[in-house]
Structure 1
Amino acid sequence: MAISFKYWDDCLDPEDMQLMWADPHVSKEWIDAGEGPGQKVHLSRDPDGEAYLTQTEMMAVAAITVHKHFKSQLDPYMIGALAEIASGRRLFVDNYDRKTKEIKAGIMQVTIEVAQWLGRELGYKYYDIEEDANLLYWPFVNVYFGAAYAKWLFSCDDKERTEEFVVRAYKGGKKKAVHKSTSPIFQRYLYVKEALLSMRQPESFNDLTPNLLANSSSTEGQLIYWDSKVSEVDMDAMWSQPDVIKEWTKSGERRGNVRFSHDSKRRPYLSRVEVKAVAEITISRHLSSKGVTPEALAALAELAFSCRDCGHRAYNVSSVDDLYNPFASMYFGAAYLGWLSQYEGRERSHEFIVQAYLGGPENVSLQETGPFWNKFLEALRLYQDPKNSEQCHVIVLGLQSPQY
């Protein structure tokens, strides 16, 4: 056993602990067991002293995790049933896989290698286990990565997979997903899932929804998914971009529920593929006559988004939250860039425009804002065709300009 905890509070973020208490089924079970709000809650133990989650606790963890990270993409009952057949809902159980020579850990029997791969390659970075692998034993962390792996299995090898394939592959491995040896796994899974459904009906999870929203800022909740901030037209445009399709498909995204990537501090961000796609779509629609290249706009976005109202109305902004829409933010940034190009009625140089964009037009100076130009050129190289990288110091805002 790699690690152990005595209390729920030792392996949960305070927000998740509040959400557990907010579930009426969990709070009743805990209070009936002698636990109380404001006090540490003991983890349940079996006769051998091993910590485990009750079915009530497991379904609450599954429902909260799905609602926060995989809404409309995964079924909480599927996650709960997978946890049952994977580990018996035991928190700290380890199993060594002789074939892969990896250790499967925790409730969902996730290996550290798979969890790290999901974070590095597929963008599942809400929890960062690179620095502390023991976080994988935390209930919400383990279920998060287990659910992410199950979601990936649904579209692995560029094929749409059935629930049966996912369950059999999750427990027995992809190669045995259609082998007769894993058939009993799916039968047991169906039995467990039916038992969970009889214990708690799906509509009872609606009790958690208001509490999730109340305990998370509106911006954080909305920034989990692209689809919550971007119109259907804009999402269709993104899905028409070959590089975006490749990246999103690789990370297991589906139409209607595309997640934003999050960094180690849980802040949403756009990949460079996404930034460039948004820039290309925005310019082609609204600003093709402004002489701004998608690469230049993407490079500025790499440094900082700056959103100001310069008389452009393609996107309605009624509150600051509206600017979290990548298309709206990129649009106003591009519009502001065009306005700066003719600041105070004079045609401005590229250096001035970039420095004014990042530091303000009234503050442009070689000493204070000069470094912005060099940083911009560095960022620009990230978005240009490597074959034409030698031109990055010449082609900036879409116009051929003298050597600087």
Structure 2
Amino acid sequence: MKTPICYKYWDECVDSEDIQLMWNDAEVSKEWTDAGESFGQKVHLSRDPDGQTYLTQTEMRAVAKIVVDRHFKLQLDPDMLCALAEILSDRQLLAESYDKEQQETKIGIMQIAPATAEWLAREVGYREYEIEDVSLLYKPFVNVYFGAAYIKWLSDHDGIPRSEQYVVRAFKGGIKKVNHKSTIKYFDRYFSVKRSLPPKRTQTKYDGRNLTPDILSIDASTEVKEGIGWIYWESIVSDKDMDELWENPDVLKEWTKSGQRHGRVQFSRDSERRSHLSRVEVKAVAEIIVSRYFRGKVQPGSLAALAEICSLRFVYGLHSHTGLMGIDYPTALWMHRDLGFGAYEVNSVEDLFNPFVSMYFGAAYYSWLSEYQGRERSQEFVIQAYMGGPDNVNLQETGPFWKKFQEALGYYNERKRARWSCYIL
């Protein structure tokens, strides 16, 4: 198919919040300013000698970083998106290619087929954008979002962690051709491009006139000023769950000491501003979920230890693991629809970034594994199965997951107050 779409300005294919985030990138703002663009005015898209619109390397890196920070933090490397965009489309917004074998047209910067985007939204839970109109895939943030989602799915599909080479070759040629000689050249080129990308630089802010270390335009939205990603518990957690957290004496003590207040409780943030839970918070969430739904079936300390090794307590999760407990959307949806675990709704991947939702489905999966195939299973089996799949358990060898789990238990197995005494490990 040949698209009739023609973009001249960034503002025609990117919403105002994303434009502000682009200006907030020091390298982009310098590049745009040097090219004669002005903050608050329409920004021209670059064109190659053939008149095709494309993203510069600087713009591509900024888009990739924003998408990863917003939806895939700690799970994907933005440079992977940048290198793939280079070899797939030369960073052209309106690039199209027809795959004869699969009989589909791939479009945009990341060369995403409409059917792939629809499948990612419908089956894998990536629903930030509704693709009711195929033309939306030509928009850079939409296209890169689905490209990143596909990379994330490829990185651990069938429950098996995949190498970078596997992901790149599968992205280009499909899973069936991942070991075919026709895809090796794409990985070689990808690796060369990724290695040649300029080093990452410390970000500064743009105030609409000057580049400054910590100042944003006063016209920027609150979300932009506060950064990408959730900062406050209340932005994703229900009032009921927040009330129970405040009632937990250890959480109350920690939050009071750190100056938190009702209605505006901040997640802890590391040096790179990545949101995570404290161990006190993880333990409290586990205790609440177990007390409500899994009394006598799983111990809160075990769930907290799993959160430690799955995600290092990061809200978004870590690497191929989604959310606090590393439960992906298809697994959560299966447990919700087929196994009757319906206490929390799960309509998209975003729902699993809610610590309570992730903990609930983590506990559900733990409970299901404890009686896998109708047999009562040991905790070592459950932990190995939780981390690597029930068909990959080898109890003859003490694997790294079990060792890490035992170490993590040390953070959570201290004696609790009488309220939780029935769950002492």
Q: TM-score range by the shorter chain?
A: 0.5 to 0.7
In structure 2, what is the equivalent of residue 73 of structure 1? 75
In 2, Cα distance between equivalents of 1:271 and 1:213: 34
In 1, Cα distance between equivalents of 2:337 and 2:52: 47
SS of the aligned residue for 1:37 comes to coil
- Which residue identity is paired with 2:129? Y
In 1, Cα distance between equivalents of 2:11 and 2:155: 33
Q: Is the 8 A contact 1:223 1:229 kept in 2?
A: no
SS of the aligned residue for 1:104 comes to strand
Q: Is the 8 A contact 1:73 1:257 kept in 2?
A: no
In structure 2, what is the equivalent of residue 395 of structure 1? none
In 2, Cα distance between equivalents of 1:140 and 1:221: 26
In structure 1, what is the equivalent of residue 106 of structure 2? 104
Q: Is the 8 A contact 2:22 2:62 kept in 1?
A: yes
Q: Is the 8 A contact 1:222 1:228 kept in 2?
A: no
Q: Is the 8 A contact 1:213 1:221 kept in 2?
A: no
In 2, Cα distance between equivalents of 1:205 and 1:190: 25
User: Which of 323, 326, 332 matches 2:356?
Assistant: 326
Structure 1 residues 36, 133: closer, same or farther in 2, change over 3 A?
Answer: same
Per the TM alignment, residue 194 of structure 1 is displaced from its structure 2 partner at its CA by 1.1
Q: Is the 8 A contact 1:119 1:125 kept in 2?
A: yes
Per the TM alignment, residue 329 of structure 1 is displaced from its structure 2 partner at its CA by 12
- Which residue identity is paired with 2:27? H
Q: Map 1:41-120; keep pairs closer than 5 Å.
A: 41-120=43-122
Q: Is the 8 A contact 1:6 1:42 kept in 2?
A: yes
In structure 2, what is the equivalent of residue 317 of structure 1? none
- Describe the superposition over 1:264-313 as per-residue Cα deviations: whole angstroms up to 9, x where unpaired: xxxxxx96946999xx9xxxxxxxxxxxxx87xx3xx67xxxxxxxxxxx
Q: Is the 8 A contact 1:72 1:257 kept in 2?
A: no
Q: Is the 8 A contact 1:65 1:143 kept in 2?
A: yes
In structure 2, what is the equivalent of residue 179 of structure 1? 180
SS of the aligned residue for 1:110 comes to coil
In structure 2, what is the equivalent of residue 20 of structure 1? 22
Per the TM alignment, residue 133 of structure 1 is displaced from its structure 2 partner at its CA by 2.1
Q: Is the 8 A contact 1:92 1:107 kept in 2?
A: yes
- Which residue identity is paired with 1:49? G
Equivalent pairs, count: 271
Instruction: Give yes or no for the alignment of 1:237 onto 2:303.
Output: yes
Per the TM alignment, residue 195 of structure 1 is displaced from its structure 2 partner at its CA by 1.2
In structure 2, what is the equivalent of residue 5 of structure 1? 7
In structure 2, what is the equivalent of residue 143 of structure 1? 144
In structure 1, what is the equivalent of residue 32 of structure 2? 30
Runs of 5+ consecutive residues of structure 2 not aligned to the other structure: 207-212, 217-223, 238-266, 268-274, 287-299, 307-319, 346-353, 361-425
In 1, Cα distance between equivalents of 2:335 and 2:305: 12
Q: Is the 8 A contact 1:53 1:89 kept in 2?
A: yes
SS of the aligned residue for 2:73 comes to coil
Q: Is the 8 A contact 2:92 2:108 kept in 1?
A: yes
Q: TM-score, normalised by structure 2?
A: 0.55
Per the TM alignment, residue 326 of structure 1 is displaced from its structure 2 partner at its CA by 3.1
Per the TM alignment, residue 221 of structure 1 is displaced from its structure 2 partner at its CA by 10
Per the TM alignment, residue 181 of structure 1 is displaced from its structure 2 partner at its CA by 2.4
Q: Map 1:1-400; keep pairs closer than 5 Å.
A: 1-2=2-3, 3-129=5-131, 131-196=132-197, 199-201=198-200, 203-204=201-202, 212=224, 214=226, 218-219=231-232, 223=236, 228=276, 231-233=281-283, 234=286, 237=303, 253-254=321-322, 256=324, 258=326, 273=335, 298=343, 326=356
Structure 1 residues 126, 176: closer, same or farther in 2, change over 3 A?
Answer: same
Q: Percent sequence identity over matched residues?
A: 46
Structure 1 residues 259, 146: closer, same or farther in 2, change over 3 A?
Answer: farther
Q: Is the 8 A contact 1:35 1:42 kept in 2?
A: yes
In structure 1, what is the equivalent of residue 366 of structure 2? none
Q: Is the 8 A contact 2:327 2:358 kept in 1?
A: no
- Describe the superposition over 1:363-385 as per-residue Cα deviations: whole angstroms up to 9, x where unpaired: xxxxxxxxxxxxxxxxxxxxxxx
SS of the aligned residue for 1:218 comes to coil
In structure 2, what is the equivalent of residue 243 of structure 1? none
Q: Is the 8 A contact 2:155 2:167 kept in 1?
A: yes
Q: Is the 8 A contact 2:63 2:140 kept in 1?
A: yes
Structure 1 residues 172, 257: closer, same or farther in 2, change over 3 A?
Answer: farther
Q: Is the 8 A contact 2:26 2:203 kept in 1?
A: no
Structure 1 residues 222, 188: closer, same or farther in 2, change over 3 A?
Answer: farther
SS of the aligned residue for 1:204 comes to coil
Q: Is the 8 A contact 1:63 1:205 kept in 2?
A: no
Structure 1 residues 160, 134: closer, same or farther in 2, change over 3 A?
Answer: same
In 2, Cα distance between equivalents of 1:164 and 1:173: 13
Structure 1 residues 56, 100: closer, same or farther in 2, change over 3 A?
Answer: same
Per the TM alignment, residue 137 of structure 1 is displaced from its structure 2 partner at its CA by 0.7
SS of the aligned residue for 2:123 comes to helix
In 1, Cα distance between equivalents of 2:116 and 2:31: 33
Larger radius of gyration: 1
In 2, Cα distance between equivalents of 1:23 and 1:168: 31
- Describe the superposition over 1:136-186 as per-residue Cα deviations: whole angstroms up to 9, x where unpaired: 111000000001001111112332110011011111221221222222111
Q: Is the 8 A contact 1:223 1:260 kept in 2?
A: no
Q: Is the 8 A contact 1:168 1:182 kept in 2?
A: yes
Structure 1 residues 31, 127: closer, same or farther in 2, change over 3 A?
Answer: same
Structure 1 residues 239, 223: closer, same or farther in 2, change over 3 A?
Answer: farther
Q: TM-score, normalised by structure 1?
A: 0.58
SS of the aligned residue for 2:41 comes to coil
In 2, Cα distance between equivalents of 1:195 and 1:259: 35
- Describe the superposition over 1:166-217 as per-residue Cα deviations: whole angstroms up to 9, x where unpaired: 0111112212212222221111111100111xx232x535879987562567
Structure 1 residues 179, 205: closer, same or farther in 2, change over 3 A?
Answer: farther
SS of the aligned residue for 2:106 comes to strand
Structure 1 residues 40, 177: closer, same or farther in 2, change over 3 A?
Answer: same
